[in-house]
Amino acid sequence: MRLGLRAWVLGFWTTLRQLGRWPVTLSYPEEQPQIAPRWRGRPVLTRDPDGDERCVACELCSAVCPTHCIELEGDDRPDGRRYARAFRINFSRCIYCGLCEEACPTLAIQLLDEFAFGKERRADFVYPKEALLIDGPGKHPHYRYYDHAGVRIEAATAVPAAAAPLDPLDNRP
Amino acid sequence: MTAHFYLDGREIPFQPGQNVLEALLAMGRDRDVPYFCYHPALGSLGACRQCAVKLYPHDDKHPPRVMMACLLPASAGLQLVTAESDVRREHAAISELLMRNHPHDCPICDEGGQCHLQDMTVRAGHRLRHYENAKRTFRSQQLGPLIRQEMNRCITCYRCVRFYQDIAGGEDFGVFGSRDRVFFGRLHDGPLESPFAGNLAEVCPTGVFTDKVYHASYLRPWDLETAASICPHCNLGCNTAPGAARGRLRRVRQRHHPDINPYFLCDRGRYGFRHVVHRRRPWRHRLRSREIERDEALDRLTDLLRQGETGFLGSPRADVQDNLAWLALADAYGAPFAAFSDPWQEALAREILALPQAPSLRQLGEAERILILGQALEISPSLRLPVQAALRRGAQLTLASVLPTALDRYGELRRLRPDGYVDAAGDWCRALPSGKRGVILASADALGPAGVHVLRRLQEDLPPGTGVVVAHRAPNLGGAAFFATDGQSQRLREAIRVGRCRHLLALAADPLGEDGDAPFWRQRSSALRISLLDCLPTTTLEAAELQLPMAAVAEREGVFLNYEGRFQAFARVYRPAQYHPHWDPSRSTFPLPAGGMREELALWEPRDLAEALAQRGGRLESFHQRLEFYRHYLCPELPGPGDPGSFIPDALRARFRIGIVPVPHSGTGRWWLSAFHWYGDEAQARFAGELQSLAPVAGVRLAPGQTQAQAMLLTSRDGQTRRYPIVEVAGMAADVLALPPSDLSDLGYHPGERIDALEESAP
């Protein structure tokens, strides 16, 4: 009996407590909501601070994707850098789980705050690479994968002296 | 009761002679102990120090100690531990040392996903690098079109050099430098010379050597579909595992077969698959180069068959069942069938099938005396690995050939003219000490039908245990020889010559090109209409009136009969498909998860085409009857894909030993003709671009000092003159012209025949 009363009082209290507050309802779409920075919205492909594509086509995102909605194929640029020749995401299958972002070793694929987008035809949900690629570095403004990879590409800046290539024919101790 | 030792308290059985690591791997427990430098074919080295286990001795005198599992012979009752902290620390510390210089480039490394180093580093639990200095770097070398080197990834396990020098006998690749400058490569940039270079990508436990051809159409190995397949590039029948994804074939790797190819595959087998993406490959039905629909093609063929003027031509490149279906269809229409367009090749195949069962490659590796006749090792490169293994065991090698061969410096050398092979074989057989296991490796082209016949007679007098291996480039030579017993080829040609056959329905054959006797077919090409089912853009395909697209080996099912008389089945790995960015609901293809659709290309399996033609002609019943009859007679029990294979019964083999004795005809002429082979030279591999970029210069080969001319003019059997630049080969027999087999076929001559040549001097 006492338990029932307690629940009754608590319930009314919860309701009455809202009386003095502003309503949380937004008149969307005229009013746009504040999206948290870690919101998992639509995935995009970002660029590194130099403006080069970050994606190196390692295929981890497509491997981890639970709905298999990512498909890509890699290729080599003339300067030795790897990039995705074709990259597409089918957003009519994407569940915005963010596993691709977690898997991405180069921080290329990032889930930004775009959360609602509609199309008239299902085929329009298949975004090719040109539609996915954005112009900026996204959430990680300073990260450059090739600074950490330990491979040289022609376009990269000078390598520090200690890491200059060794000569295997040099027999000095 | 097998003996056991104990690892962490669990019983591990082992065979005598195994070491601890081998016993663990045989149990499938490759996660218990990490390892790098051990490889079943290369043995234990103890270089990487990764496979540490802790040994508790049974006596009281010695304390427990950490030892390398790959160097510790397994013995009964051994007490080993890996679950203790000092062993784990050792694993993690060695991993850290191995990773000290390893770049963090797994995302752009082709090995990622199949990388032993990746697996073992995760397994050993190494996460953070304590060493703070820069990583050492090297300048990687350009090693040709097949293998890509990224030397910074090296962990110095020495597997590559142990394979390349010790197993494959290569000399142009080695190890340089000292301390942490140790470098594996060539002295200078340049393509690797060994025909086994492609194995470096498989042997390397990390991404130093990766497959350049696979890289060009790279998808991660976890995306690849694979199935048990058989290499279609020579008659050894090595087992392969092609990897395909998204409707494209992307790589071929070896598949373990204990008796044929335990661990390695030659480059022709590994890279020859690129013929399936040749840009001129026929994908659609074409009638005089106009694209037509499949139904129209079938109607046309049915009409032609009804006229009763069709001859059927099979091929040693097509598998057993496809040739059977062609034969059954020919029977249903009462038309002549031959599996060979050239009687010489037919007689050769028959003689090879009539040989007693050849030794397996494993038995070849245990031979004590080996005779190599001609360029057998260039025709079937994988023969070289067991020969090298036998040499390491102390076998004595005799080489008899026209041209220098790769193993010349390992054995007793005999240079001879093409007519000398039989004598050389006879001398060797007479000199063979009793009780020694001897094996003759012969090149089919060098010996010819008559030579193989003599070899069979010679072998009858030899002690048991002596075998003959005849290397040929056709994958199903034995299976095609089923249909070579009573001069079918000659009869088909006779029917064409007298005009009884005006239409040829050919299956994967190239009579106008390199099947052995192009002039005969060229002379009749105006009166003969050819319908060709093939997957290669051959000379015959270009001349064919009706082109039918055929599924390549990895795209269909079938059975090959290899040199031992072993049936081996291959499974379909993939279906070629084309990507369309938009899904079309009117097509019977599902949309892809990632959008668009992938539509499979309609390619014929020869059996299906034969059946469709029989059905349209109203002869389905007799077709099935004949097919069942032949199948029951020739191959009642066929293995499934992935099986080790089953042998043709000796009783059946004996039926092919018929009375016809081939007689050598050498003709007259100044020069003897010989075939010149290199390891990438085969009907299908000839359309594999990357491999062909390594081809030696074209031309006619002869000994130095034989002529002052720049080029030779040779006249073919139908009177056409061909010009061949002269390539002088040091150490070659005198008075011999060596030409690639495709050129010999073009001229209409066979190896061992004589020819006159016009010499073209410098202007």
B675-693 per-position pLDDT tens digit: 999 999 999 999 999 999 9
Taking a C-beta distance cutoff of 8 angstroms, is the pair B499, B527 a contact? yes
Tell me which CATH homologous superfamily contains domain B350-472.
Dimethylsulfoxide Reductase, domain 2 (3.40.228.10)
Q: CA of A122 to nearest chain B CA: how many angstroms apart?
A: 9
Which H or E run includes B3?
A: strand B3-7
Question: What distance, in Å, lies between the first and last C-alpha atoms of chain B?
Answer: 81
Measured between beta carbons, the chain B residues lying within 8 angstroms of A160 are: 134
Q: How do residues B245-265 score in pLDDT, each as one tens digit?
A: 999 999 999 999 999 999 999
Q: Token pair for residue B228?
A: 């048990």
In chain A, whose CA is at the least distance from the CA of B185?
Answer: A168
Q: According to the model, what pLDDT value does residue B31 have? A: 72
Which of A:5-44 have CB within 8 Å of B?
A: none
Among B266-280, B410-424, B646-660, which stretch is predicted with the lowest mean pLDDT?
B646-660
Q: How do residues B697-755 score in pLDDT, each as one tens digit?
A: 999 999 998 888 889 999 999 999 999 999 999 999 999 999 999 999 999 999 999 99
Strands (E), B623-750: 646-647, 671-675, 700-702, 711-715, 721-728, 736-739
Summarize the confidence of residues B139-162 as an average pLDDT. Answer: 91
**Cis-peptide, bond into residue B664, ω within 30° of zero:** no
Measured between beta carbons, the chain B residues lying within 8 angstroms of A166 are: 136-138, 177, 180-181, 183
Is A71 an interface residue toward B (CB < 8 Å)? yes
Beta bridge mates, B149: B209
Taking a C-beta distance cutoff of 8 angstroms, is the pair B714, B702 a contact? no
The DSSP line for B304-331 is: HHHTT-EEEE--TTS-HHHHHHHHHHHH
- Residues across chain B: 763
Measured between beta carbons, the chain A residues lying within 8 angstroms of B152 are: 150-151
Summarize the confidence of residues B215-222 as an average pLDDT. Answer: 93
Beta bridge mates, B598: B579
B240, pLDDT greater than 50: yes
DSSP B167: I
Identify from A125, A126, A145 which residue to disrupt to test chain B contact, counting B C-beta atoms within 10 A and taking the largest count: A126
In chain A, whose CA is at the least distance from the CA of B104?
Answer: A149
| The amino acid at B478 | G
Q: Does domain B295-349+479-654 have CATH number 3.30.70.270?
A: no
Residues with Cβ within 8 Å of B549's Cβ and at least 6 positions away in sequence, in order, are: B282, B283, B284, B285, B533, B535, B601, B602, B603, B604
Q: CA of B103 to nearest chain A CA: how many angstroms apart?
A: 5
- The residue assigned the tokens 């010379």 is B193
- The rounded distance, in Å, linking the Cα atoms of A136 and B254 is 45
A169 and B176 in contact by Cβ < 8 A? Answer: yes
B152, pLDDT greater than 70: yes
The fold adopted by the segment(s) B3-98 is Ubiquitin-like (UB roll) (3.10.20)
Q: According to the model, what pLDDT value does residue B138 have? A: 86
In chain B, whose CA is at the least distance from the CA of A127?
Answer: B595
Per-residue pLDDT of chain A (173 residues; tens, 9 = 90+): 567 899 999 999 999 998 888 888 888 889 888 888 888 999 999 999 988 999 999 999 999 999 999 999 999 998 888 999 999 999 999 999 999 999 999 999 999 888 888 889 888 999 999 999 999 998 888 998 888 777 665 544 444 444 667 777 776 66
Summarize the confidence of residues B531-554 as an average pLDDT. Answer: 94
Residues with Cβ within 8 Å of A131's Cβ and at least 6 positions away in sequence, in order, are: none
The DSSP line for A102-141 is: HH-TTS-EEE-S------SSGGGGEE-HHHHB-SS-TT-T
* Residue B101 confidence class, pLDDT cut points 50, 70, 90: confident
Give the one of B104, B177, B222 whose C-beta lies nearest to A149's C-beta: B104
Q: CA of B224 to nearest chain A CA: how many angstroms apart?
A: 12
Question: What distance, in Å, lies between the first and last C-alpha atoms of chain A?
Answer: 90
For chain B, the residues whose C-beta falls within 8 A of a C-beta of chain A are 102-108, 112, 133-139, 150, 152, 176-183, 185, 215, 218-220, 222-223, 581-583, 592-596
Residues with Cβ within 8 Å of B93's Cβ and at least 6 positions away in sequence, in order, are: none
Cα torsion B113, B114, B119, B121: sign? negative
Beta bridge mates, B388: none
Is A121 an interface residue toward B (CB < 8 Å)? no
Q: CA of B687 to nearest chain A CA: how many angstroms apart?
A: 23
- Under 8 Å CB pairs connecting chains A and B tally to 108
Taking a C-beta distance cutoff of 8 angstroms, is the pair A90, A51 a contact? no
* Residue B214 confidence class, pLDDT cut points 50, 70, 90: very high
**What is the Cα B30 distance to its own chain's centre?**
29
In chain A, whose CA is at the least distance from the CA of B107?
Answer: A58
A168 and B138 in contact by Cβ < 8 A? Answer: yes
Q: Find, among B450, B454, B446, the residue nearest to B471 by Cα.
A: B446
Measured between beta carbons, the chain A residues lying within 8 angstroms of B135 are: 150, 163
- The rounded distance, in Å, linking the Cα atoms of B243 and B217 is 11
Q: CA of A62 to nearest chain B CA: how many angstroms apart?
A: 10
- The interface predicted TM-score (ipTM) is 0.84
Q: Which residue has the higher pLDDT, B762 or A103?
A: A103
Taking a C-beta distance cutoff of 8 angstroms, is the pair B502, B529 a contact? yes
Residues with Cβ within 8 Å of B574's Cβ and at least 6 positions away in sequence, in order, are: B225, B242, B244, B245, B247, B248, B249, B554, B555
Is A69 an interface residue toward B (CB < 8 Å)? yes
- The rounded distance, in Å, linking the Cα atoms of B218 and B90 is 36
Q: Find, among B490, B509, B536, B239, the residue nearest to B350 by Cα.
A: B490
Q: How do residues B292-324 score in pLDDT, each as one tens digit?
A: 999 999 999 999 999 989 999 999 999 999 999
Q: How do the domains of chain B map onto residue ranges?
A: 3-98, 133-277, 295-349+479-654, 350-472, 671-760
Identify from B100, B105, B108, B137 which residue to disrupt to test chain A contact, counting A C-beta atoms within 10 A and taking the largest count: B108
* Residue B762 confidence class, pLDDT cut points 50, 70, 90: low
Among A161-170, B34-43, B427-436, B681-690, which stretch is predicted with the lowest mean pLDDT?
A161-170
Taking a C-beta distance cutoff of 8 angstroms, is the pair B534, B508 a contact? yes
- pLDDT averaged over every residue in chain B: 91
Beta bridge mates, B507: B533
| Residue B567 region by backbone torsions, left for phi larger than 0, else alpha for psi between -120 and 50, else beta | beta
Measured between beta carbons, the chain A residues lying within 8 angstroms of B592 are: 71, 90
Q: How do residues B328-354 score in pLDDT, each as one tens digit?
A: 999 999 999 999 999 999 999 999 998
The fold adopted by the segment(s) B671-760 is Barwin-like endoglucanases (2.40.40)
Measured between beta carbons, the chain B residues lying within 8 angstroms of A151 are: 103, 105, 108, 150, 152
DSSP β-ladder status, B310-313 and B503-507:
parallel
Taking a C-beta distance cutoff of 8 angstroms, is the pair B17, B44 a contact? no
- The rounded distance, in Å, linking the Cα atoms of A76 and A85 is 9
Measured between beta carbons, the chain A residues lying within 8 angstroms of B215 are: 76
Residues with Cβ within 8 Å of B162's Cβ and at least 6 positions away in sequence, in order, are: B39, B42, B45
| The amino acid at B71 | L
Q: According to the model, what pLDDT value does residue A161 have? A: 41
Residues with Cβ within 8 Å of B254's Cβ and at least 6 positions away in sequence, in order, are: B199, B202, B238, B239, B240, B241, B261, B263, B264, B265, B269, B270
